[in-house]
Amino acid sequence: MPASTWGGPESNADEIYPVDLLTYLLKEMMLQFDAQGACIALHDERIGQMRIQAHIRFKNALAHSPQPSQSSGPLPKLSSNARRPTAKLESDEQELLQMSPTLHIPVVNSLRSRPPDESSADEVEDVDPQQNELFAVGSAYPIDQDLIGYTWHKNEPYAMRHEDYLAIFRTNYNYLQPIKADMLPSSYLVVPVRESHLMEEIRSGRRRSTVLGVILLYRVAPDAPGFQKERAEALNYVERIALYLQNEKQRYIRRRTNEYLRLLQSISTAFPSSVQLSELVERIYQFVVRIVDVSSLLLTLYDRDLDRLYDVLAIHSGQRVEGLAEQPTVRLKSERPVWNRITHAGRQALLFSPAQDHEKRLEYQELLTGVWGNQQDTESFLMLPMKMFNRVIGSLSLTSMRPNAFQPEEIQVLETMIQIVTVSIENANLYERDRSILNEARQREAQLAAINSALQSVSSVLNVTALLNNLVESVASVLKVELCAFFEPSPTNAMLFAHALYAPSSVQMVDDGSGLPVVTPQNKDERDEIIGLIQLPFQGTFLEQKVDEGFFYLDVEQLKELALHSNEEGAIFLRETGIEQMLMIPMSYQTQFMGFLAVPMPKGNRIFRPKDIGTLLAICAQAAGAIRNAQLFEQREAAYAELERMSKLKDEFLVTASHELRTPLTAIRGYSSQLQRQGSRATPQQIMKFATKIAVATQQLTNLVGSMTEAAQIGPGDQKIDLQIEPVQVYAATEIAVGMLTLNTERTVTLDIPATMWINGDAPKIRQVLTNLLENAIKYSYPETPIWVSASSLHLSEVEPLLTPDQVNPDSMLSQGDIPVVLVRVRDQSEGISPEDQQKIFEKFVRATRSLTTPIRGTGLGLYICRRYVEAMGGKLWLEKSAANEGSIFSFYLPQVTPPVDVAE
Ligand code: ADP
């Protein structure tokens, strides 16, 4: 039944009883009782009234009706005619008596198989309501109304003359407007069609009315006798008709049941597979409207977990309340106490008529209102609880404007449907629950896997930077964020600098002056370099006070505040990446603070769930240990490398020292043994010569030991050296240095030093540096080549580019400002120093590899000592240039000072 016909006044009696059958039964009865016309009214459950289903009369009866005086003529004939088919009816009666109520007897066929021209007097015609309005087909009678309603009510047969009928039932009969009828009956016989007793017993009172219908026979001849005597016989006769009708009804019910079963089968296969609520609701809707007459409908589901009631489908007076399946109206269970009571009480359907039963209407008022509108005036109300074992799943409520709209068979079918739906909803729920449990488990698994791999990646790496990179990347992937950084305190704790940054969206921390972050693909080294430049203030800020907290959030104001005191790159990081809130997790190992893991909150309303924070803290705790390990490992590696280097130095020292010691010692031993051997034979000249040789060798030894002591004294880098800082004239110092040269080689030393250049320093140390550089130049250059010493006045910023980074760290060079300096260069012409040696020669006891195989003396201490002295005086010393066969330039600078007034004068 399509939805559009809902609530339409339609009868279903003709679906149950074929008109042919009714016509046949009426005709047989007319013949039996000498009636010329007959009609049958059957109870229409949908409207609760008796409705006339068929009205027939003999054709020849109509021919005689205008002249009642003549009507007596055909009557006996009719009567005699009537006897003939009676024999047939008798045989039918036999069949009727034999048949069980459930057996189908093809009476209709037997009617049709009868030759139509057997007798023209037998021919019947349908009484057209247009010709005759009396008991017209389709007329319906409520109980007690008119002759039919009266007979129904009294459940007794009546015989009556037409005048009496008019007097009793047509009290407001208007003689001026006579009944529109081409033929008026003279007398009536009205018989109730009672439900068979047997059937009644079977049904045991489940049906309100035991009167299936009413049959009315009439005679038309005015002088025809009334039916008084035939009443009892008619009642008996009709009992057989009742059997026919009941049989038909059974067939109809069976047919419908079969249909329902087919429908049920289709939904039982359809429902469980449809786990989508909206689909399920749609099917329920389609199904219900095919089965019963419904004007309004309400499907309510109950969620046990949330203790909520959801109205997911509502039809209000044939109109569907849209969008409920997607957005149901939600009520707390406590808001619907009656609903609760009914659904929990049992599996029984609740059925009553709100319009008729005022008591129940009051009692169940709650069920009759709500999203499906006011149902308090409907004729039929049915509520089917949906239950699975004892669990309430929901309910389906229906109303109809028709009385008794919901019949037991239909309720049964609906109950079956509800059971199937309940199971499928429960399945869907279970499925949903399973799926969400599965999902959650999967998520948890994935998260665990992520944590695991995060932990693994942070634990398996012993390089701190790689480890921190893994950490920020893992955290970003676990939290599904775009940005994550690790900030580490600087050695002095003044600042926090980014040690690792995860920013896959390629927002690079580059400032091109436009104030916007520049999106540029960069190589890893560049990126790492830039990351290192991001610095945030630490000492004295609120961050410092929070290192002992578990975790905390920085809000916009705090981020602004930090950006204010950050360096440029730090400010860009905080400002340009549009961070509104940043989660900070301080990481410590035991009591040692290691840094902050900073996770900017993603934009939008997303927040980190406690679960996420928990995960994060676990990762951080693990990472802290791993970082500590990596740091220790790196420190140990560095210490190990230093040890290695020291051990190598020691070896080199032993080689150098033993060589350097052996040479003068050999000389001393040689000359002294010669002196011994020659004894008194030695001439004073010879003695003098040997003594001088011994003295020189001794001096060499003394020098060596002196250098060694000096080198040991000045110690490594940060040890303080006693200095007497004063203005020193570069030219004078160089001249003295040249004069101090102990090497007696004839070499030209060209000085290009303006006399006005003064430097700040310790004069003896400056001279020592110059002597050393000059001696080296002489020692290691080609013989007879000149040596140049030049001095120029420069600013520090001009010197900076001359420094080779692998030699001297230019860092903090300009920390005291771009001061004027004097740059002194010592240049020679030699084989040059191989690139591998260029850095090493400034180390203690290290000599260029080539020098170790030459007879040229050296300890490898000179350059080391010189560099230490120059640096102690605020300058730098380095190998500015050295090329094969061209020679080297050793340079140093010291702060320039204006010449002292007295000297200048
Ligand atoms: P020493 O000269 O006593 O060996 P230094 O520390 O002064 O020690 O020099 C270290 C090494 O540097 C020298 O042994 C030599 O191999 C190399 N060296 C120093 N100056 C020069 C130079 N002007 N030309 C070539 N090699 C040099």
Task: List, for residues 856-868, the tens digit of each pLDDT value.
Answer: 878 888 999 999 9
- Residue 148 predicted with pLDDT over 60: yes
Ligand 1 in reach of 600 Cβ (< 6 A) = no
pLDDT at residue 64 tops 50? no
Residue 137 and residue 39: Cα distance in Å, rounded? 8
pLDDT score of 810: 63
Cβ-proximal residues to 651 (8 Å cutoff; 6+ apart), any chain: none
Burial level of 35, CB count in 10 A (0-12/13-18/19+)? Answer: buried
Which distant-in-sequence residues (6+ apart) come within 8 Å of 672 by Cβ?
Answer: 690, 694
pLDDT (0 to 100) of residue 110: 36
Instruction: Check pLDDT > 70 for residue 460.
Output: no
pLDDT of 249 over the 90 cut: no
- Ligand 1 centroid–CA 780 distance in Å is 7
Give residue-wise pLDDT tens across range 14-32. Answer: 567 888 889 989 999 999 9
Ligand 1 atom nearest the C-alpha of 851 is: 16
Residue 347 has pLDDT above 80, yes or no: no
- Ligand 1 pocket residue status of 652, Cβ below 6 Å: no
Does 868 sit in the ligand 1 pocket, CB within 6 Å? no
Torsions phi, psi for 658 (to 5 deg): -65, -40
- Count CB-CB contacts under 10 A for residue 424: 21
The fraction of the chain above a pLDDT of 70, given in percent, is: 78
Chain segment 424-443, per-residue pLDDT in tens: 677 666 555 555 666 666 66
pLDDT at 253 over 80: no
pLDDT at 6: 37
**CA 110/CA 123 separation, integer angstroms:** 16
Q: Look at residue 740 in the predicted model and tell me its pLDDT.
A: 83
pLDDT of residue 207: 45
Amino acid identity at 71: S
3-state DSSP assignment of residue 623:
helix
Averaged confidence pLDDT in the chain: 79
Examine the pLDDT at 716 and tell me if it is beyond 50. yes
Shortest-distance Cα residue to atom 9 of ligand 1: 860
Q: Which is more confidently placed, 597 or 855?
A: 597
Q: What pLDDT was estimated at residue 178?
A: 72
Q: How far is CA 582 from CA 161, 281, 482, 574, 579, in A?
A: 102, 46, 12, 10, 7
For a ligand 1 pocket test, name from 655, 704, 768, 847 the mutation site with the most ligand atoms within 8 angstroms of its C-beta: 847
Specify the residue with its C-alpha closest to ligand 1, atom 3: 858
Burial class (CB in 10 A: 0-12, 13-18, 19+), 270: middle
* Nearest of 670, 674, 672 to residue 662 by alpha carbon: 670
User: Over 60: is that where the pLDDT of 891 sits?
Assistant: yes
Q: How many CB atoms lie within 10 A of CB 100?
A: 10
Q: CA torsion sign, 441 to 443 to 444 to 450?
A: positive
Ordered DSSP codes for 744-768: -----EEEE--TT-EEEE-HHHHHH
For residue 833 and ligand 1, the question of a CB distance below 6 A is answered with yes
Atom of ligand 1 nearest to the CA of 772: 7
- The reported pLDDT for the residue numbered 438 is 62
Q: Is 841 in the pocket of ligand 1 (CB under 6 A)?
A: yes
398 in contact with ligand 1, CB cutoff 6 A:
no
Distance 6 CA to ligand 1 centre (A): 113
* Bridge partner residues of 53 (DSSP): none
Lowest mean pLDDT among 65-74, 201-210, 231-240: 65-74
Strand partners, 389: none
Among the atoms of ligand 1, which is closest to the Cα of residue 776? 20
- Alpha-carbon distance 660 to 67, whole Å? 168
847 Cα: distance to centroid of ligand 1 (angstroms): 6
How much distance in Å is there from the Cα of 888 to the middle of ligand 1? 11
Characterize the bridge pairing of strands 876-883 and 820-827: unpaired
Least Cα distance to 808 among 863, 759, 849 occurs for 863
Cα–ligand 1 centroid distance for 755 (angstroms): 29
Q: How far is the CA of 372 from the centre of ligand 1 (A)?
A: 104
Measured in Å, residue 889 CA sits from the centre of ligand 1 at 12
Q: Decide: 653 in ligand 1 pocket, CB within 6 A.
A: no
Ligand 1 contact, 887 CB (< 6 A): no
Q: Are 225 and 180 in contact (CB under 8 A)?
A: no
DSSP 3-state of 720 = coil
Lowest mean pLDDT segment, chosen from 134-148, 188-202, 228-242, 538-552: 188-202
Q: What count of other Cβ atoms lies within 10 Å of the Cβ of residue 154? A: 13
861 pocket-lining for ligand 1 (C-beta < 6 Å)? yes
Q: What is the pTM of this model?
A: 0.40
Residue 441's identity, in one-letter code, is A
How crowded is residue 882: how many other Cβ atoms within 10 Å of its Cβ? 21
- What pLDDT score does 68 carry? 38
How do residues 540-593 score in pLDDT, each as one tens digit?
Answer: 888 998 888 878 888 888 888 888 888 888 888 887 777 888 899 998 887 888
Q: Atom of ligand 1 at shortest distance to CA of 831?
A: 25
Does ligand 1 lie within 6 Å of residue 420's CB atom? Answer: no
866 lines ligand 1 (CB under 6 A): no
For the stretch 772-801, pLDDT in tens is 999 999 999 998 899 999 999 999 989 988
- Taking the C-alpha atoms of 82, 88, 91 and 93 in order, what is their torsion angle to the nearest 10 degrees? -50
Split at pLDDT 50, 70, 90, the class of 84 is: very low
Beta carbon of 707 within 6 Å of any ligand 1 atom: no
Question: What average pLDDT does the segment 723-729 reach?
Answer: 93
SS3 state at 655: helix
CA distances from 165 to 154, 161, 186, 518, 632 (A): 16, 6, 10, 105, 119
List of residues 6+ apart from 33 with CB closer than 8 A: 189, 217, 227, 230, 233, 234, 237
Q: What is the mean pLDDT of residues 729-743?
A: 88
* Burial of residue 893, with CB atoms counted within 10 A of its CB: 0-12 exposed, 13-18 middle, 19 or more buried: buried
Model confidence pLDDT, tens digit, residues 499-552: 888 887 544 444 444 444 444 444 566 666 777 788 899 998 889 988 888 788
Has residue 10 got a pLDDT over 60? no
Mean pLDDT value across residues 243-264? 77
The label of the residue with tokens 């004295």 reads: 540
Interval 721-735 mean pLDDT: 93
Residue type, 235: L
Q: Could you give the percent of the chain with pLDDT greater than 90?
A: 25
Q: Which two tokens stand for residue 593?
A: 């603070």
- Where does the pLDDT of residue 99 fall: very low under 50, low under 70, confident under 90, or very high at 90 and above? very low
- In this prediction, residue 304 has a pLDDT band, given cuts at 50, 70 and 90, of confident
Instruction: Check if 879 has its Cβ closer than 6 Å to any atom of ligand 1.
Output: no
pLDDT band at residue 703 using 50, 70 and 90 as cut-offs: confident
Helices (H) and strands (E) in the chain, counts: 26, 27
